[in-house]
Amino acid sequence: MNQKFDYIEKVNGNLELPGDKSISHRAVMFSSMSKGESKIYNLSSGEDVKSTRKCFESLGVVFKDEADCLRVNGCGFKGFKAPEVSLDAGNSGTTARLISGVLCAQNFSARITGDESLSARPMERVITPLKLMGANIESNNGKLPLLINPSDQLKAIEYQLSVASAQVKSSILLAGIHLDDYTSVIEKEITRDHTERMLGLKVTRENEKKIISVSMGNYPEPKEYFIPSDISTASFFIVLALFKASPSIRIKNLSLNPTRTGMIAILKQMGAQIEIENMTNYMNEPAGDVVVRKSYLKNVKIDESIIPNIIDEIPVLAVAGLFAEGEFRISGASELRKKESDRIRSIINNLILTGIDVEEYHDGFAFEGKIKPMSFVFQSFNDHRIAMAFAVLSSLNQQGGEVSNFDCVSISNPEFLNQLSSIKS
Ligand code: S3P
C-alpha cells in the first residue's frame, strides 16, 4: 500500500525506540544456544528478529512472551533437535548467515530458505570460509536455499575477511565456538562488533588489523540481556529533527557502540547539533540519550574507511545530503548493491524523481541541487530502509509525498508511523 506523508513543520519531544536489531538477533541466538533460561529485555519488534526466533523454535528452543521481556529456554551445546521443516530466514541476511555458522557444527541436516530478496543475495561469502573449516554445505550456486549437513571434519581456521561484513565474521565465529582450538577472524576494515562484545571474545590488534578469536570456552551461558535502542532506526528521526526540531527531540537509551555511530560523526561534521547525554552501558554495549536540534548542514567528504560503520544509514544520509548545502558524494560502498535491494539503484531511482541530476558509480553516487516544488511518489523497492528514508524526504518536502509498499518497514520497525506521529507538532 502507498503511504502518504504530509509536510512536517515541527517535531519535538521524546522518543523511545525498540531494541537494536543486530543485538536482538544475537541475543535470540546466544540465549537459544545456552542451556536453560535467559530473559531478553527490549527486543527488536521487527520481522527480521521474528525470523531468527522462528528458526530457533524449529530447532527445539522454547520462547515465551512476557509483559516486559522474552523468556528463552535454550538447548545447550549441540542440544538442538533436527528441524522438521526448512528454516525460513525471511528477509533477514543476519539470520541466514549467522545461523549457517551454528548449523555447521550440529549432527543433523538443516535447510535454510528465504524470501525473494534474500534468495537473490550472496551466500558464498559465508560458504567459502565455512567450507574451509570443513563444513558440508550445498547451495544454489552460492545462493539460498542452503543445505547444511553434519561434518565430522570441522576444524578451527584463521581467516582474513575479503568483504567487510559483520555477518560473515559472526558466521565463522559461531562455527568456531563449537571447537576446542581457537578460530580467528582477521578484519582489515572494522565492522560492527556486537558478536565479540556479547560473547566476550579475545580481540587483539596487529598494525591496522583486528584479530578476533573464539573457542568452545566462549560458549554462552543463560543470562539476562538488556538491549539498547536501535541507532539505525533512530537515524530517520535524527535526520528529520535536524531540519525540523523545535526546540529538540530526545531519543532515549540509544545504542552508541562506536562501530555504529559513524552517521552521527558525519552529521556533526556537516554542522549538526547533536548532543549525547546520560551515557551508560548495557551488556558491554555503550548507550545514551541523543538530543537533536535544528541545524544548518553542509555536505562534507565521506571517507571510504567509514562505510562499513554507516552502511545501513546511507539511504537516510543521502536525504540529509539533499537538503544540505553543496554536493553529496558516497564512494567505496559497493556493498550497498547487495542489501535488501540494490540500494544504490533504489536511492538513485527515487532521487531522480525529484528532478535532480544524480551520477551513478559502481560503488556509490553523487548529486547536488534543489528538488522540484511538487509532490512525489517514491518506490520502497520492498526495502525497509529505502521506505523510511523516502518517508523522511516526503515529510521534509513542502508538497509532501508517498512511498509504495510501505508495510515493508515492519522488517525493522513496525511502529515507525506511530513514532513519527508522536513527535509531530
Ligand atoms: C548486520 C551487519 C551488516 C548490516 C546488517 C546487519 C549484522 O551487514 O548491514 O543490517 O547484524 O551483523 P554486513 O555485515 O553483511 O555488511
From the list 224, 330, 228, the residue with the least C-alpha distance to 276 is 228
Which residues partner with 158 through β-bridges?
184
Mean pLDDT to the nearest integer, 81-89? 98
Residue 173 pLDDT level (bands cut at 50, 70, 90) = very high
Distance, in Å, from the CA atom of 112 to the CA atom of 95, rounded to the nearest integer, reads 10
Pocket test for ligand 1, best of 94, 191, 317, 384 (most atoms within 8 A of CB): 94
Closest ligand 1 atom to the C-alpha of 232? 10
The Å distance, Cα 315 to ligand 1 centre, comes to 15
Q: Residue 340 and residue 338: Cα distance in Å, rounded?
A: 7
Please determine, for residue 274, whether its predicted confidence score (pLDDT) is greater than 90: yes
Neighbours of 141 (CB within 10 A): 6
CA of 118 to the centre of ligand 1 (A): 13
* Cβ–ligand 1 contact at 415 (below 6 Å): no
**Average of per-residue pLDDT across 83-111:** 98
Architecture, CATH, for domain 3-17+230-423: Alpha-beta prism (3.65)
Q: What's the confidence (pLDDT) of residue 4?
A: 98
Alpha carbon distance, N-terminus to C-terminus of the chain: 26
Give the chain's radius of gyration (CA, Å): 21
Which residue minimizes the CA distance to atom 10 of ligand 1?
312
Region(s) of the chain under CATH 3.65.10.10: 3-17+230-423, 21-213
In ligand 1, which atom is closest to the CA atom of 25?
11
Q: With 90 as the cut, is the pLDDT of residue 323 above it?
A: yes
What is the pLDDT averaged over residues 397-417? 98
Q: Is the CB of 309 under 6 A from ligand 1?
A: no
pLDDT band, very low/low/confident/very high, at 33 (cuts 50, 70, 90): very high
The crossing angle, in degrees rounded to 10, of helices 166-176 and 21-33 is 10
Instruction: State which H helix or E strand residue 263 sits in.
Output: helix 262-269
Q: Please report, rounded to a whole number, the percentage of residues in the chain having pLDDT higher than 70.
A: 100
Alpha-carbon distance of 81 to 58, in angstroms, equals 8
Positions marked catalytic: 312
Q: What is the mean pLDDT of the chain?
A: 98
Residue pLDDT, tens place only, 345-385: 999 999 999 999 999 999 999 999 999 999 999 999 999 99
Residue with CA closest to ligand 1 atom 13: 165
C-alpha span between 392 and 286 (Å, rounded): 27
pLDDT for the residue 368: 98
Q: Which atom of ligand 1 is nearest to the CA of 191?
A: 14
Of all protein residues, the one whose alpha carbon is nearest to atom 15 of ligand 1 is 165
How far apart are the C-alpha atoms of 108 and 136, rounded to whole Å? 11
| Cβ–Cβ under 8 Å, residues 81 and 9 | no
Res. 138: pLDDT tops 90: yes
Beta carbon of 22 within 6 Å of any ligand 1 atom: yes
How far does residue 231's CA lie from ligand 1's centre (Å)? 13
* Nearest protein CA to atom 5 of ligand 1, as residue: 94
- In this structure, are residues 288 and 279 in contact, taking their beta carbons and an 8 Å threshold? yes
Cell numbers at residue 63, please? Answer: 520462547
CA of 165 to the centre of ligand 1 (A): 6
pLDDT for position 386: 99
Which residues lie closer than 8 Å to 206 by C-beta, 6 or more apart?
Answer: none
397 lines ligand 1 (CB under 6 A): no
Q: Which atom of ligand 1 is nearest to the CA of 26?
A: 11
If you average pLDDT over residues 147-176, what whole number do you get?
98
pLDDT(191) > 90: yes
Asked if residue 283 has pLDDT above 90, the reply is no
Q: Are 262 and 226 in contact (CB under 8 A)?
A: no
Q: What is the pLDDT of residue 1?
A: 86
Pick from 76, 67, 152: nearest CA to 107: 152
Residue 148: the pLDDT is 98
Cβ of 341 closer than 6 Å to ligand 1, yes or no, is no
Q: What is the pLDDT of residues 204-254, one digit of tens each?
A: 999 999 999 999 999 999 999 999 999 999 999 999 999 999 999 999 999
DSSP class of 77:
T
Residues 289-313 have pLDDT tens digits of 999 999 999 999 999 999 999 999 9
Strand order in the sheet with 224-226: 62-65, 70-75, 35-41, 224-226
Q: C-alpha grid cell for residue 42?
A: 527490549
What pLDDT shows up at residue 425?
Answer: 85
Q: What is the CATH number of domain 21-213?
A: 3.65.10.10
Q: Which of 324, 335, 342 is nearest to 393 (CA)?
A: 324
Which is it for strands 183-187 and 209-214: parallel, antiparallel or unpaired? antiparallel
